[in-house]
A and B are shown apart, each in its own frame.
Chain A
Amino acid sequence: MNTVIFRTIAPLIVSIMLVFSVYVCLRGHNEPGGGFIGGLIAASAIAIFGMSSGVERVRAAIRVDPLSIAGFGVFIAGLSGLMSLFTGSPFLTSIWLYLDLGETVLPLSTPMIFDIGVYLVVFGTISAIALALEGEGGDI
């Protein structure tokens, strides 16, 4: 499987998948997509990257332990829920903020942060598992 073609093209595929995953995550509120799917796409990208270039390079590239990313995801998802306490409403009540950038209006919200948290958890957990297995599994 570790052919020259695969190794050459993999980084390209991986980068496209990663960008696409962010796109899918962010558009999720209004169109098909969301944090869960985005995270899965990104994790697949990492798995492909790991197969083509070796686990060590992937770990060097993402710098932090994937499981920490997952932990951070749970953390910010929880934090986004706590925001609503400032407005006196119950945990996880959404807060919306429309930023007027002149040409367009940028909607920011706590559900978006929450969804990013979901993205990070799925991405981090699946990548961690895939990388751990790839690092152990020998040649594929």
Chain B
Amino acid sequence: MGPSLDASIALAALGPFLAAALAPVVHRFAGRYAGWVLAVVPASIFIFLLGFIEPIASRRFVQASLEWVPSYGLNLSFFIDGLSLTFALTISGIGALIILYAGSYLAGHPHQGRFLGFMLAFMGAMLGLVLADNMLALFMFWELTSVTSFLLIGFDHARQAARRGAIQALVITNIGGMGLLLGVILVQQLTGTWEISGLRGLGDGMREHGLYPLVLILFLMAAFTKSAQFPLHFWLPNAMEAPTPVSAFLHSATMVQGGVYLLSRMTPFLGGTDMWTVTLVSFGGVTLIWGALGSIRQTDLKQMLAQTTIASLGLLVLLIGLGNEAAIAAVVVYFIAHALYKAGLFMVAGAIDHETGTRDITLLSGLSDKMPLTFIGAALAALSMVGLPLTLGYLGKEEMYLALADADWRSWLLLAVLVIGNALLAGVAMALAIKPFLGPLATTPKSPHEAPIAMLIGPLVLGGLGIGVAVMTDWFAHDIVVPAASTVLDVAVESHLSLALKPTSILFWLSVLTWVLGVLVFLQMAAIRTTLRRLDAAIGWTLDQGFDSVMFGLIRFSGAVTRFFHHGKLELYLVVVFAGLALAVMVPVLGMGGMDVLLPTHELGDWSAKLSWPDLRIYEWGVIALAVLGLGALLTASSRLVAILALGVQGTAVALIFLLFGAPDLAFTQFMVEILSVVILTLVMTRLRLDERDHRQFEDWARDGTLAIVCGAGVSLLLMVVLSGTLDPRMSDFFTATSVPIAHGHNIVNVILVDYRGFDTLGEISVVMAAGIAILALIRGKKKPGTLAPDVAKRQRKSALKAAK
């Protein structure tokens, strides 16, 4: 394995991002052929990955690694084993067809280049997710799929529903993403490795660890949100606001399968416990039935498909929970079968919508003459979805029934759930393939005609594969299913897939039962739909509305918190700030033994002896008198202008003290600050009234006075405490000794500012500048109240009214 292989594997995951960046340019030059050009990228990744089938089938896995953050020992590592290869092949293969489809579906759309870019970026994130070995990289790609799918779902961002769907998907999947991050970090802390491949063989220790439930919950949070498990499934139907190519890609082979991938990947490490099995099986089972019933309730083609996706995800989660050999083999087969037929059906739905102008199944009929190739695509996909013999769907269904073949009452219960779920899905599949195409031609908003070739390739190829792959049963079982299932179970698995019909086996009769029930469902669909809708109306509340309530509650809550702290009363802000200062200085002085240093208890008796008249020179007395004079003038000032000037006098006296005691830099700065404070305060006060005295209520006066005295006394005491101890001279010695030799400066204060602690200063000057911008905004905002945001202006008017009262 040379570096070139490393690079090319990494390129398989990262290449789509490059293509995404180029997509708008390609679209500009290639125009309506952009889809054809860009589909080359996923297609070549697909072909590159095909080459791994043979080695993986015999050698188990291939690793590749690029340096990422070497100082933390992090590598951007990828690996290919049976599981990731299965997912990556499905993603890139279907991805190529989808890009092709999207190029035609959105032909002429002004933002098609951007759209194709989003699609490719999403594909890159998805490939990275399934190929990543490093768990932080896995998390990063996981979040990237959320972000890119946000862009895709909200692509039509002028519509409110699209924005809502996008935000909902982002919120829900990001909650899971946080869980994944925590879970990954926790696993790294427990095992000491960031690599998934490094977790091999550590599963037993993990399952017995006290923190196992926490780790499991974190990972399940991630998987259940991404894979739309009940009760967090509602984002998926709303994500149907996306253009159809997005739905076809996200909800067949990618996005939502991220959770399935994660669960499969973690099976050797976390799986097999009672907690795992019970949680996965029950959530999966409920989701299966819920989604299947949900799809019958719908009449919109895309919504029906979205609900069946939820059902299929539930089915997969249930099977992963079961975790025996047949169940895992069924997961692999069903994942592929589902990806193929679901992507195909979505593309068919998109084609119907594109050519007729409606997606309502009750309005569609008799399209088979007008759109024969679309009908073939739909029929092929539906065959696999129903699970008729000779299709991948059949293999998957037989395998999952086999997984429950032991005669346990729980198995019988689950078997019943599976049969009912599959029958409901089969009924929907028949409806999707038969209702729009057969019967008399119905009038539709647009007069129907066959879809363009780029939109037909996808459904036809995928539908064909659903049968073609199944026919090559031995190759499929040996080279795809066995390596993938072996990876999940971490033991070598035997394959027993067979297309042969065995009338002696109960499994066959379960299949027959499923088909019969499916036909019944299909025939009675309208009646079931009416019942379900009535039931819905009776409940009158959906989880989707619950999401809205939670979100609005959150907004109201943060609004309330903000209003509580950000009340807009400057006086109170200052009170809080100075109360904080008082606490910050008084707590160490009084509470942490500061006073003992200053005034040891055993000397308390003769404290008066310690007080002596300070030995000061006459001009020093003069300066102090000036400061006191300024203070007195400030307190008794007859107008604000006088008060400001008095404050300046007091400050100048302090500056003089600095000067007298050998801190010229400080004194210098203090002078300038005092002058500018007076000038700026005066300028500010010109907006108020300069010639008035401050009016304060007695309570305000007492409160402000107390705070001022406590702060002043606190700072003085703190300084005295600090000065009464011995200062650690190491820092000042260091600066004195090195200032000239290494920093070439004699003024230590300045050298510290610009050299030793230049980074601090850089931060400080940025803050100064930011503060300046904020102040200017305040001044200018005041000038033109019309330019304020309406809600701010409203709040200001309100507070002005309150003040007037």
Contact A33 B755 (CB under 8 A): no
Residue with the highest number of chain A CB atoms closer than 10 Å, among B676, B744, B758, B779: B758
Q: List 7 A-B contacts (CB under 8 A).
A: A78-B762, A114-B754, A114-B762, A115-B750, A124-B772, A125-B768, A133-B779
B730 interface residue (CB < 8 Å to A) = no
Residue B684, interface by CB 8 Å: yes
Q: Are A118 and B755 in contact (CB under 8 A)?
A: no
Q: Kindly identify which residue among A30, A31, A94 contacts B755, using a CB–CB cutoff of 8 Å.
A: A94
State the Cβ distance, A33 to closest chain B Cβ, in Å. 7
Closest chain B CB from A136 CB (angstroms): 6
Additional pairs, 10, CB under 8 Å, beyond known A33-B750, A107-B744: A29-B745, A29-B746, A70-B769, A77-B762, A92-B762, A114-B761, A114-B762, A121-B768, A126-B772, A136-B687
The majority secondary structure among interface residues of chain A is: helix
Contact B672–A77 (Cβ < 8 Å): no
Give the contacting residue for A28; candidates B743, B747, B765, B779; CB below 8 A: B747
Given A81-B758, A122-B765, decide whether A140 and B746 contact each other with a Cβ distance below 8 A: no
Cα A129 to Cα B749 with chains together (Å): 27
Residues 754-794 of B contacting A (Cβ, < 8 Å): 754-755, 758-759, 761-762, 765-766, 768-769, 771-773, 775-776, 779-780, 782-783
Complex formed: what's the CA distance from A56 to B759 in Å? 36
Interface string of A107-130 (1 = CB under 8 A from B): 101010011011001101110111
Q: Does A67 contact B (CB under 8 A)?
A: yes
A residues sitting closer than 8 Å to B (CB atoms) are 24, 28-37, 40-41, 43-44, 47, 67, 70-71, 73-74, 77-78, 81, 91-92, 94, 96, 107, 109, 111, 114-115, 117-118, 121-122, 124-126, 128-130, 132-134, 136-138, 140
B668, CB-defined interface residue at 8 Å: yes
**Interface flags, B675-686, vs A, CB<8A=1, else 0:** 110011011101
Q: Within the complex, which residue of A36, A109, A129, A137 is in contact with B753, where a contact is CB–CB below 8 Å?
A: A36
Flag whether B665 is at the interface (Cβ < 8 A).
Answer: yes
CA distance A117 to B762 in the complex (A): 9
For B673, list chain A residues within 8 Å (CB).
40
Query: Residue B160 at the A interface, CB < 8 A?
Result: no
What is the chain B residue whose CB lies nearest that of A139?
B686
Interface assignment of B465: CB less than 8 Å from any CB of chain A: no
Whether A36 and B783, one on each chain, are in contact in the complex, defined by CB atoms closer than 8 angstroms, is no
> Which chain A residues border B553 with CB–CB below 8 Å?
none
Does B49 sit at the interface, judged by CB under 8 A? no
Kindly list chain B residues whose C-beta atoms are within 8 Å of the C-beta of A117. Answer: 765
Residue count of chain B within 8 Å CB distance of chain A: 43
Q: Which of B683, B744, B758, B772 contacts A29 (CB 8 A)?
A: B744
Chain B neighbourhood of A137, CB < 8 A: 683, 686-687
4 A-B pairs with the lowest CB-CB distances in the bound complex, closest first:
A125-B772, A40-B672, A133-B683, A137-B686
A134 to B744, CA, bound (A): 41
Known A114-B758, A117-B765: A33·B747 in contact at CB below 8 Å: yes
* Closest CB in chain B relative to A116 CB, distance in Å: 10
By a CB distance below 8 angstroms, the chain B residues around A115 are 750, 753-754
A33 and B665 contact, CB distance less than 8 A: yes
- Residues of B452-488 whose CB lies within 8 A of A: none
Contact of A136 with B783 in the complex, beta carbons under 8 Å: yes
B746 pairs with A30, CB closer than 8 A: yes
CB-CB nearest in chain B for A24: B668
Least distance between A15 CB and chain B CB atoms (Å): 18
**B residues less than 8 Å from A124 (CB atoms):** 769, 772
List, in ascending order, chain A residues with CB within 8 A of B676's CB: 40, 43-44, 47, 126, 130
Q: How far is the CA of A92 from the CA of B757 in the complex (A)?
A: 9
Query: Closest Cβ of chain B: how far from A71's Cβ, in Å?
Result: 7
Determine the distance from Cα of A97 to Cα of B768 in the docked complex, in whole angstroms.
Answer: 30
Instruction: Report the separation of the CA atoms of residues A91 and B757 in the bound assembly, to the nearest whole angstrom.
Output: 12
Which residues between 384 and 437 of chain B lie within 8 Å of chain A, taking CB atoms?
none
B191 in contact (CB, < 8 A): no
CB distance from B309 to the nearest CB of A (A): 50
B765 and A30: CB pair below 8 A? no
CB distance from A132 to the nearest CB of B (A): 5
- Tell me the number of A-to-B contacts counted with CB atoms below 8 Å: 146
Q: A47-B676, A136-B779 are in contact. Are A118 and B746 (CB under 8 A)?
A: no
How long is the Cα–Cα vector from A106 to B751 in the complex, in angstroms? 18
B664 near A: Cβ within 8 Å? Answer: yes
B669 interface contact, C-beta 8 A? yes
Q: In residues 654-705 of chain B, which contact A (Cβ within 8 Å)? A: 664-665, 668-669, 672-673, 675-676, 679-680, 682-684, 686-687
Q: Known contacts A118-B754, A132-B776: does B761 contact A91 (CB below 8 Å)?
A: no
Q: A121-B769, A132-B780 are in contact. Are A140 and B683 (CB under 8 A)?
A: yes
Residues of A within 8 A of B759 (CB): 81, 91-92
In the assembled complex, which residues on chain A have CB atoms less than 8 Å from the CB atom of B746?
Answer: 29-31
Point out the residues of chain A lying under 8 angstroms from B669, CB to CB: 36-37, 40
Min distance, Cβ A134 to any Cβ of chain B, angstroms? 6
Q: How far in angstroms is the closest Cβ of chain B from A101?
A: 17
Residue of B at shortest CB range from A112?
Answer: B754
Provide the residues of chain B in CB contact with A37, threshold 8 Å. 665, 668-669, 672
Most buried by A among B665, B745, B751, B754: B754
Contact of A130 among B683, B753, B769, B782 (CB under 8 A): B683
Q: Please give, as numbers and ranges, the residues of chain B lying within 8 Å of A138 by CB-CB distance.
A: 686
In the complex, how many angstroms separate the beta carbon of B674 from the nearest chain A beta carbon?
A: 10
Bound-state CA distance A118–B665 (Å) is 16
> Within the complex, which residue of A32, A35, A71, A133 is in contact with B769, where a contact is CB–CB below 8 Å?
A71
A47 to B673 CA separation, bound complex (whole angstroms): 13
Kindly name the residue among A24, A28, A35, A78 whose own CB sees the greatest number of chain B CB atoms within 10 A: A28
**B665 near A34 (CB under 8 angstroms)?**
yes
Take A35-B754, A74-B765, A117-B765 as given contacts and tell me if A109 and B776 are in contact as well, using a CB distance cutoff of 8 Å: no
Across-interface contacts of A47 in B (CB, < 8 A): 676, 679-680
Question: Which residue from chain A places its CB closest to the CB of B778 in the assembled complex?
Answer: A132
Query: A-facing mask of B81-108, CB < 8 A → 1, else 0?
Result: 0000000000000000000000000000
A32 contacts across to B, CB distance below 8 A: 664-665, 668, 747
State in angstroms the CA–CA spacing of A64 and B664 once bound together. Answer: 33
Complex: how many Å from CA A91 to CA B669?
28
Chain A residue at minimal CB-CB distance from B687: A137
Contact B772 A130 (CB under 8 A): no
Q: Does B772 contact A34, Cβ atoms closer than 8 Å?
A: no
Do A130 and B686 have beta carbons less than 8 Å apart?
Answer: no
Minimum distance in angstroms from A40 CB to a CB of chain B: 4
A44 touches B675 (CB 8 A): yes
Complex-state Cα separation, A97 to B751, whole angstroms: 17
- In angstroms, Cα B738 to Cα A94, docked, is 14
Q: Flag if B765 contacts A73 (CB, 8 Å).
A: yes
> Given the complex, which residues of B lie within 8 Å of A92, measured CB to CB?
758-759, 762
CB distance from B250 to the nearest CB of A (A): 42
Q: Enumerate chain B residues within 8 angstroms of A81, measured Cβ to Cβ.
A: 758-759, 762
How distant is B784 from chain A, measured CB to nearest CB, in Å? 11
**In the bound complex, what is the Cα–Cα distance between A92 and B762 (angstroms)?**
10
